[in-house]
Amino acid sequence: MPANNATRQASFVSQAHQLTAAWDQDVAQGVPAASLVPLRQQLTASPYQTAPASSSVWNSNGGSRLLTSLTDQTTIAWIAAVDASRQRASAVLDRWTAVVTQYASYVPGDATNAAAAWPAQLAAAYAPAEIDKLGTSWSTTVDAVQQTASVNRAHGVVLQPYSSVSQLISVADGAAATARADGLNDPDVPALLSALQAAAAGGGFPEAAIRALQSPLRTLRELINQENGVAAALAGLQRDIGAAAALNTTNAASFPAQYGDIAAAFHAASDSPSLGAVAARIAALDSTVNADPAANGCGRGAAGGKVITISLSQQRVVFSQDGCTVRTSLVTTGRDQLRTPTGTFHIFSKATHFTFISPWPKGSPFYYYPSVANYAMGFAGGGYYIHDAPWEPDSAFGPGSQNSSNASHGCVHIESSVMPWLYGWADMGTTVVITG
């Protein structure tokens, strides 16, 4: 008996066991068991299952062709299950659109806001069971919203955009609490809320108390939204100031103090005019920060063409052309044991709707299911790309993200809001410099 026959038999048994375990795992993640039955039968009926090491069946490929075929069919079954689950979930999204169209303003605003996140949740889900769970949850919501909207339309629009008196009370109570915590001016809502609670406790439909509360509550919620918008703008300003510091722009050292003054004014603002004044100051300083010339020769005829400079320590990228900074952004790079390589590289390939296939087998801590990027640019051999990651929200990028669950396997993730621009801006051959 040739020695390598025993090796082939042992290898086949090991790989067959791994394949069976993968099927069990796929079923647990939502792949229909029936779709894998033919594969299990092929494996069971295979002569390699029972042949002794002395058998001639091991003299050729040792069952490798069968295992490869079964692995390919397993991937096809997974993709088909995902597609079927996505179709079911998409049907729920279509039903939601129909309910919104039919009932228009009678659909509660909070439900509309929640449903706005559904497409992103669907895009981020990868396993059939996970997708089906989302679809079931959404379907329950659609049913409830449709019933509520029907009742609202039948009984008038007094409560709109709220689905019930209790929801209106809850929203008003939450808005009043936020106003207190943030030091916002709220002269009317607390007293009107108390009046509504008393009227609701007395039985009947408290229409007068509802109408009295609606407009002041709307004004307060608009004030809270304005404050949230200013807070987001302030965070964006802080981020741009950080980019200026990283680039060592001409006036970078003066920006933190100006930011501190604006932040103090924001925390002291209590009404719409004062928040508007803070927003204007943020916009003015942000414009100054973004227009601040770099100290690296920008505007002085420097050469060098287009360069993409990525800092692994800062998780930030700088896009420059002939020494002038064109744009900056945050990134997420390779995780522990799979760090992004450092050095100087060049873009050698560009593709849209690029599917990444895991080179690691199922069971490996590095395995991932097939993932589609909208834009991908190869910069180093071995599968290193600069690409968007639709499954990673922009808020997850930046310092520390290379050590999080969003970290790549060595690629460079670019924010989804930035990648379409970068794909058009970066030419084949564009220099990529990656530092530690």
Model pLDDT for residues 304-313, shown as the tens digit of each residue: 689 999 999 8
Q: What's the sign of the alpha-carbon dihedral 249, 302, 375, 436?
A: negative
Q: Which residue has better confidence, 238 or 175?
A: 175
Tokens of 36: 């894998």
268-297 tens-digit pLDDT: 999 999 999 999 999 999 889 878 765 544
- What 8-state DSSP symbol labels residue 341? P
Nearest to 237 by CA among 259, 257, 269: 259
Number of H helices, E strands in the chain: 12, 9
Q: Which residue has the tokens 């639709």?
A: 390
Contacts of 101 (CB under 8 A, 6+ apart): none
- What 8-state DSSP symbol labels residue 297? S
Above 80 in pLDDT, residue 247?
no
How many Å apart are CA 78 and CA 81, to the nearest integer?
5
CB 319 within 8 A of CB 308: yes
pLDDT of 406? 86
Above 50 in pLDDT, residue 51?
yes
- pLDDT category at 238 given cuts 50, 70, 90 is confident
Torsion of CA 175, 180, 184, 185, to 10 degrees: 90
pLDDT of 427? 94
pLDDT of 297? 45
79-94 tens-digit pLDDT: 999 999 999 999 999 9
Q: H-helix or E-strand containing 80?
A: helix 64-103
- pLDDT category at 152 given cuts 50, 70, 90 is low
Burial 341-363 (b: 16+ CB within 10 A, else e): eeeebebeebeeebebeeeeebe
Above 50 in pLDDT, residue 431?
yes
The chain-wide mean pLDDT, for the chain, equals 89
**Within 13 A of 150's CA, how many CA atoms are on the CB side?**
7
Contacts of 24 (CB under 8 A, 6+ apart): none
pLDDT of 294? 58
171-217 tens-digit pLDDT: 999 999 999 999 999 999 999 999 999 999 988 778 889 989 999 99
158-171 tens-digit pLDDT: 777 887 889 999 99
Tokens of 425: 């801006």
Exposed/middle/buried for 280, CB within 10 Å: 0-12, 13-18, 19+? exposed
Contacts of 1 (CB under 8 A, 6+ apart): 53, 54
How many Å apart are CA 261 and CA 274, to the nearest integer?
14
Tokens of 408: 């790549």
Please list the residues that pair with 387 across neighbouring strands: 376, 413
pLDDT of 275? 96
Domain boundaries, the chain: 1-154, 164-295, 306-435
CB 93 within 8 A of CB 114: no
pLDDT of 157? 57
How many Å apart are CA 206 and CA 203, to the nearest integer?
8
pLDDT of 296? 47
Q: Which CATH architecture has domain 306-435?
A: Beta Barrel (2.40)
Q: Are strands 412-414 and 324-332 parallel, antiparallel or unpaired?
A: antiparallel
Exposed/middle/buried for 382, CB within 10 Å: 0-12, 13-18, 19+? exposed
Query: Mean pLDDT throughout 226-244?
Result: 87
220-233 tens-digit pLDDT: 999 999 999 999 99
